Structures are given as C-alpha cells and as structure tokens.
Structure 1
C-alpha cells in the first residue's frame, strides 16, 4: 500500500469513515508511535507502527464486512461505551462494525453496518445525494397542502430542505424519499408544518431494502446488493 493520510488509514482499518477518523485526530485521540497524530501524517502498512485510538491499538486492515440491521426504537447509533442504549453493545467484538449513516434514537428501520471506511465516506457525504426511503406516521390526518410543501422543500431554523418524492399511504401515513441526511430532518420538516411524527421507519437505502428482516436482527449484505451500493457510490 502506498503512503496514505492517517485518516484514510484509520478508515481502511475499520475505525470509522475518514470524516469520523479526522474528528478523532482533531480531538487528540490518535497516536502514532506514542506521538499525537496530525492530519498531515502519512502511514504505510508495510512499516511497523504503533497506532492507537484512545490508547487502544488499531489492528491492520481486515477483510471488509457488510451487514444490514433492523434497528428498533430506543437504540442510539452513536457508539458510546458508557451509554447502555448504544448500538455498540449489540455489535460483535470483531470485526469492528459501525453504521454507515444514522437513525435517531426514536426512529427504527434499516441500517448498513460495515468496517469499510471508503464506502461509508461516500454513503454519508451530502454531495453524493444518495436516496433513503422512509414510511412516516403523523398525529393527525394529512392534507394536500402538507404533501405539496414536503415535496417542494420546507424551511426551518436556517435550513431549506431539498425537493423530495412523497407518496400518501393512508390518512396519517406517507412514504418519503430523501437525498439529504440532515439531523432529525423528517421530524423537523413535519414540525415546521404543524405535524408531529408518531412513527418513523427507514425501509430502503438506495436500492437495498429492509423487506421482512425482523427487528433487532442482522443479515449479511448480498453480493448483488453490495454491487448496487458500490456502483451508486
């Protein structure tokens, strides 16, 4: 392997995406041969190095793993060891997996779990406009005006959301396809229009579907699904 930036190397090792690795370096959590790492540092796997994150040695790049998980309500996607509700406590010890994107604690549905930092980087980067599909139930009957406003984009705080696809499912439920990944975006869009989200389920990540995967379970990503994810990335 040629010399690569330390954030890229950490992503290859399954620590997280390059962006997540950069945040760890920024916080002073990463060391190389007992010296704090800098963003400009470059490493080569052919050279023996002692690389640690929060004092724990980083294993060399491992075989990539790709899993789909049906997250229930109440699980926090942040990998926080001191939080008993963290997804971290439900993942296998090895290989180290992490979610390529998040669902907030009150939402449920499809998560992609992987140790492929490069794929995670592209899936999470806003410039790639990857689609995600959700089925959303709200607290009162939907109106034509609400559906039109959601589809054309909603303003809240200092945000203007992008146009999206929306389809009525029943009087209080709609399906929405987003290409943005703003924090609690659907809930805040609904709130700005006077509606409260009762249930939020992610059903698709691009062309990969949750289907009948039971809640709290995971399965390997199929070869065909992985080809789709990588082609669209």
Structure 2
C-alpha cells in the first residue's frame, strides 16, 4: 500500500492485541486514539489507516509493536471468566491467564460456558480462525433442561431462526414492547447427536453470540451447561478446568495449515 499504510484494525490485530473484529469494536467505543508524528491526535474512526510513524493508544496506553515471539496456548476456561480484551472488566480472560503480552483469544465463550479457548498474539491466525466464511469447526457438549428428542435434533441440524439482540446486531427499530429490535438470522446446518437423556454434542461452523443458547431457546429448551471440547484440530483432552498449556509444534503447524497459512 502507498507509504506503508494499512487499515488501523489490521495493525492492531497484527501486534496480537485482538482480532480485527474486536479492534473495530474498540474503535466504535471510542477507546482508540491515533497520535501522528506532527503532534496531532484524534480519536480513531472505523476505516482509519495506520501510517508508519504513528502511535496508537488504547485505553490511554501506547501500543508497542516489538515483534514479540508468537505465543500459542489453550486454556480450559472456567465459568465466570469473561472472554474480552477489555482489561477494565473484572475477571477478563487476559488477566485470568496471567499473561503480560499483548494477546487475544480465538473463539469467544460466554461467561457461563466452559472449555477450550485459544490464546495467541498471532493476529493473522486469529483472524483466519474467527472469520465465519472459513467455516472452521468448533465442538461442544451441551446439557439442557428437557429430554433430547429426535424432533429437537432434526431442527437443530437444519438450522434454527434466532434473533441477535446484542448491541452490534440491532436494526435501529423499536419493537411493540419498547425494546430495540435485533437482527433475525437462520443458523447454518450443523452436526448434532444425542449423548444422554438431556445431553448432546454439536459442531458449529459459525459463532454468533450465545448461538447454542439462542438456538435451544427458540425450540423451547434451556441450556444448563456448555463446554467446548474442540477448535478445529485442537482438542481439550484432559486439560483440567482453569489450566492452560502451550500448543505443540505439531498442533501449531496443523492449525495454520487448516487456517490456510
């Protein structure tokens, strides 16, 4: 690109702070400032570009691009830990993992869910894994409040119509109840099979916010537990809850291969 310019979200991702999508959210929230070499500074906007010589400030702290060694870890996230790069939020996953590096996560889990989360400062890999169009598999064990029926499994496999009412998916309309209206989507067909009277496994290739909970709720079920046991080739295995470990060279190589790197 001319003068070495790149999109600001790509720069933030490239140093391992977070994914491009998360960088866009931080920019939208007004948490990012660009400090230019001429001494001017401005709150960043979506679509802004980073030029060599600029300094980027997030939450009042200057980001350092020191080409740190790439880190790849898996964490068995316990209930109550929040998948967010915002360290102002109590019990955020970055502080819980006890890492001082700029690092992000691939594959968000909600506060009440447990299981496998990939932690890495490899921004390109993170983005490729998180990009929904790449259809990378993530596998979960789920427990619900009712008996798992053939009809339930069949409807889950075909895809379920859900409403996304988180802040980034609002339509701008207000419903009859006075609440903001969320975007309506149909989930992709997926693999689902029964493993117990009230338990099933599911493999998703997309990652809407609280997707499994929303799918089950649309069919009249309440999710009691969700545990992720696999992301692509990475399996949780016997890693104990709350523990983390570095990926092996073989795991990293296969992960990058599947991600198209």
Shared fold, TM over 0.5: yes
- Residues 201-212 of structure 1: pairs in structure 2 closer than 5 A: 201-212=227-238
Q: Deviations over 1:37-94 (max 9, x none)?
A: 56342433xx5x4332222121113211110000011111123333322223213342
* Counterparts in 2 of 1:132 and 1:93: CA distance versus 1, 3 Å: closer
What does the per-residue CA deviation read over 1:167-212, in whole Å, with 9 as the maximum and x for residues that have no partner? Answer: 1111111110000101111111111111111111000001210000
Equivalent residue in structure 1 for 2:206, among 167, 180, 183: 180
> Aligned-pair RMSD on alpha carbons?
2.0
CA distance in 2, matches of 1:10, 1:187: 31
CA contact (8 A) 1:168 1:174 kept: yes
Structure 1 residues 84 and 21: CA distance shift in structure 2, 3 A: closer
Q: Matched residue of 2:151: which SS?
A: helix
Distance in 2, matches of 1:30 and 1:185, equals 33
1:65 to 67, 71, 94: 71
- Partners of 1:210 and 1:135 in 2: CA distance: 12
Counterpart selection for 2:123 from 108, 117, 125: 117
CA pair 122-4 structure 1, distance change in 2 beyond 3 A: farther
Shift of 1:129: 0.7
CA distance, structure 2, for counterparts of residue 190 and residue 50 of structure 1 = 45
Contact between 1:91 and 1:97, CA under 8 Å: does it hold in 2?
no
Q: What is the Cα deviation at residue 4 of structure 1?
A: 4.1
Contact kept in structure 1, 2:15 and 2:102, CA below 8 Å? no
- TM-score when scaled to structure 2? 0.81
Q: Which residue of 2 aligns with 1:30?
A: 33
Unaligned runs of 5+ in 1: none
Whether the aligned pair in 1 keeps the contact of 2:19 and 2:104 (CA below 8 Å) is no
Runs of 4+ in structure 1 deviating by more than 6 angstroms, as ranges, are: none
What is the DSSP-based 3-state SS (H/G/I as helix, E as strand, rest coil) of the residue aligned with 2:255? Answer: helix
Tell me by how many angstroms 1:28 deviates: 5.5
Equivalent residue for 2:103, pick from 94, 97, 101 = 97
Q: Which deviates the most, 210-219 or 91-100?
A: 91-100
Q: How many residues end up aligned between the 2 structures?
A: 230
1:162: Cα distance to partner? 0.9
